[in-house]
Structures are given as C-alpha cells and as structure tokens.
Chain A
Amino acid sequence: MTTANTDAMRPPFPAERGVDAYNTKLGMWVFLASEVMFFTALIGSYIILRFGAPGEWARPGVVLNVPVTAFNTFLLICSSVSMVKAYASIADGDQRMLKIWFLVTIICGAAFVGVQGFEYYHLIHRGFLPSGVREGSELAELVAKGTLSEASLGLYGSTFYTMTGFHGFHVTCGVISMIYLYFTKVLPGKYTQQNHGGVEVVGLYWHFVDLVWIILFTIVYLI
C-alpha cells in the first residue's frame, strides 16, 4: 500500500509537494548531495595535502599511465551517453533500444572497472603503493635518479589510491545495480513509457559517478 506508489513517476497524491519530482528521484538527488560531501572530504584532503606537501609533487605522466586512463575516461563518458540514450529510448517507449543501450552502459562500466584493476596491478608492479614507493622497484630507481621527489610520494600514493579507489567502488556499485535491474526489470520489459523511474534514477547516479571522474581525471592525472 505504501510502497506501491514510490516507483511511479509522479509525486505522491494527494500531498503538498516541495518539488515536482517523484520520491525515488528526489531521494537520489538528496543522496547525491551527500555524495558530493563525501568526495569533498577526499578531494579536499588531496588539495590541502598537495598544497602543503614537502618536495615537488610528481609531474603528470611520470608515475601514472595517462594514455590508459584517457581511454578509460573515454569509456566512462561513452557509458554515460549510452545511459542517457537508454533513458531517452524508454521515454519514447522503445523497449528494444532500451535493452541495447542499457547493455552497452553495463559493458562500458564493467570495462572501466576492469581497466582500473589493470592499472592498479601495473602501478603496484612498478612499485607504487598507497604508502609510497616499494624498495628496489622501478619507481625507486626513478627516485634514485632524481626524476621523482620521494618526499611527497607517500602522500601521492595515499591520495591517489583513496580517491580513485572510492570512485572505482562507486562504479562497481553502479554496475552491480545495473546488472540487477537489467535482469529483473529491463529484460522482462517492466519499464514502460509511463513508468521508467528506475532507469532515470540509476542514470542519475551513473552520471554523477561520471561527473566525479571528470574532476578526478583532471586533478589527479593531468595537473
């Protein structure tokens, strides 16, 4: 009785309404506001620590593999587009295109997580750890040659792995929930032109994750 209405794409009636958004959509926006603050804590700490870091911060591209991540960025942007296309399809009542675009989104998202795992594996292999540089690794040699300043590498590792790790965690959560929706709602054709709140709401989350990555990519990899 009470939950029946929450997924429908209209505000609950009869009621005073603060915003013209149905509950799940409003709830997702509210949740995203809190996510902004969570990433503020992580990104803000990064900015603050970088400002006060001893020794020169590693220049972009020295430690991190930017081309791979640029490809990853591209993947995530593509998945965002396919997500919004999926939404537009079902808003026009097109079940077939919804299924296709939704699947593309899941694949791009999963590929992003995979590439990030690959990136982590290689970084750790090269000696880049959350605590700094591993003794006797490739990066340790760069430090010995003076290409890298060791003083700030500990902070570099700490902030890099925490920020990208938590972003990756969010992407993973998004992929899992999309797979769940794909099999329980999308494939059985439960979304309709009138009722497709789930696609819109998971889309909001997905675009937000994309948005965070756009910021992270710039400030972590390029600056």
Chain B
Amino acid sequence: MESVQHKHPPYLLIWLYLFLLTAAELGLAFQLPIARNIKLLLLLGLAVWKALLVAMFFMHLKFERWNLRMLLIIPLPLAVILVLAVITEKIW
C-alpha cells in the first residue's frame, strides 16, 4: 500500500495549472496576432503539457514503476509512425 504512505500530490494546484493553461490556449488562439505556424506549435505544446499533467499526477504515472509506464509508452511511437508515414505521402 505504497500510495497511502506518501503524501498526496497538490491536486488543487494542478487543477489551477490546467485552468490557467486552458485560458492561455484560448487567448493564444483568438487574441494573439502571431504567425499561424508558431501559434500551432505553441498550442500543441500547451496541449501536450496539459496532457502530461493529467497523466503524471491524476493518473499517478509519476509514482508508478517504469515497467508500468512502458505499457502506455509503447503505442505512442506507433501512432507517430502511422501519422508521419501517411503525411509524407501527401507532401511528395
């Protein structure tokens, strides 16, 4: 029962982060007049950041052993390979 022993992560603080990041995304998407490509990268970066916060703290991945983390990491390269390969198709 390891999970009981250690202190709980500051869940409300992470909620605040998520809230602020979402607000930042909205502002970025609709208010900031910057180049589209940069905007796209920033938005994706923010989305990944939020997703990581959820996975690491809410899903406790930060506190799991590496072999359990591997389970969720395995499909990710496959997903990337699929999308990248098919997109190169369109670029030629």
Show the binding face of A for B, using Cβ within 8 Å: 9, 18-21, 26, 29-30, 32-34, 36-37, 40, 44, 47-48, 51-52, 60-61, 66, 70, 73-74, 77-78, 80-81, 83-85, 88, 91-92, 193-194, 203-204, 207-208, 210-211, 214-215, 217-219, 222-223
Known contacts A91-B4, A214-B54; A48 and B65 CB within 8 A of each other: no
> CB distance A214 to B30 under 8 Å?
no
Interface size (B, Cβ < 8 Å)? 44
> CB distance B65 to A19 under 8 Å?
yes
Interface string of B35-52 (1 = CB under 8 A from A): 000001001101100110
Show the binding face of B for A, using Cβ within 8 Å: 1, 3-4, 8, 11-12, 14-15, 18-19, 22, 25-26, 28-30, 40, 43-44, 46-47, 50-51, 54-55, 57-59, 64-65, 67-68, 71-72, 74-76, 78-79, 82-83, 86-87, 90
For the complex, would chain B's binding face be called helix, strand, loop or mixed by DSSP majority? helix
Residues on A with beta carbons closer than 8 Å to the beta carbon of B90: 48, 51-52
Residues on B with beta carbons closer than 8 Å to the beta carbon of A37: 75, 78-79
> CB distance B58 to A84 under 8 Å?
yes
Nearest chain B CB to A19 CB, angstrom units: 5
Closest 8 CB pairs of A and B: A218-B47, A40-B79, A222-B29, A81-B15, A207-B58, A36-B75, A44-B83, A52-B90
A113–B20 Cα distance when bound, in Å, is: 23
> CB distance A74 to B22 under 8 Å?
yes
Nearest residue (CB) in B for A85 is: B11
- 6 A-B contacts (beta carbon < 8 Å): A81-B58, A88-B11, A207-B55, A218-B44, A222-B25, A223-B43
A54–B74 Cα distance when bound, in Å, is: 34
A223–B14 Cα distance when bound, in Å, is: 24
Residues on B with beta carbons closer than 8 Å to the beta carbon of A32: 72
A205–B16 Cα distance when bound, in Å, is: 22
Nearest residue (CB) in B for A67 is: B26
